[in-house]
Amino acid sequence: MNKIALILATYKPDLKMLNQALECSNLFDEVILHVNDKETFDIVKCESKIKIIYREKRVTVQEAFNEAIYWCDKKFILNFTDDDFFHKPHLENLLNFIRTNKNCPNIIHYPIYAGNEKDGWHIWGDNSIITYDKLIKQNLIPFSCVYKKYVWQDVGGYKSGEFSDWRFWLDVLKNKYELYYTANPVYYHREGHKETLSNKESISFNKEEFIKRIINEQN
């Protein structure tokens, strides 16, 4: 049976958000929490079911994922942050599919609910085929994934520097991995309110220059 690990990176979280993120932790075969502040560590260290990596020096989310995944011994990885929370029925269906499928795909991608409690939620992501050429022309990643640990090993993990999550998936697609689609959103991703600058807008500001640099790195 395939086993799945939840990797959660956190730094001085809102404890309500952290608790929401951890509400479904018992559904996973392993939970690794990467913590960068002592206050949170002191709160969660009594959770015997959770493996905790504590670092006094703050690191990026991707650096936290890299370290936690390195120590993970389960076949499948689901990365998470403390500002997200799960849709439990859809999560249970996804984990059951992975556990019971002997020929489970290397990467399973799915849409998410994006938004917030004030402005409402919308489904973000669809079943369109994700290709390297398509992704490199976009300035965002229109999906979230569960993937096998050896995919992370094969591409050398998350690179340091800006937009490392985007670059990670470019490396994955460049290595000819295919993404299997499942239609049900697995979690809610909290975004800033509409009156604030969106992540998409901020990334678009230097889009052309950044894409040229990424293409040069990939060649």
In the chain, the domains with their CATH numbers are 4-218 (3.90.550.10)
DSSP secondary-structure letter at 34? E
pLDDT at 203: 47
Residue that wins the pLDDT comparison between 59 and 108:
108
pLDDT > 90: percent of the chain: 46
Round to the nearest angstrom and report the end-to-end CA distance of the chain: 39
pLDDT at 194: 47
pLDDT at 196: 37
197: amino acid identity, one letter: L
Q: What is the mean pLDDT of residues 99-126?
A: 91
Statement: residue 121 has pLDDT above 50: yes
Q: Look at phi and psi of residue 112 and say left if phi exceeds 0, alpha if psi is from -120 to 50, else beta.
A: beta
Please tell me the distance from the alpha carbon of residue 145 to that of residue 182, in angstroms, as a whole number. Answer: 10
pLDDT at 171: 92
pTM, two decimals, is 0.86
Predicted confidence (pLDDT) per residue in 26-80, tens digit: 999 999 999 888 877 777 776 667 899 998 888 888 999 999 999 999 999 999 9
DSSP element (H, E) containing 70: helix 61-71
Of 150-159, 160-169, 206-215, the range with the lowest mean pLDDT is 206-215
Of 66-70, 127-131, 182-186, the range with the lowest mean pLDDT is 127-131
Residue that wins the pLDDT comparison between 105 and 14:
105
Statement: residue 197 has pLDDT above 50: no
Statement: residue 144 has pLDDT above 50: yes
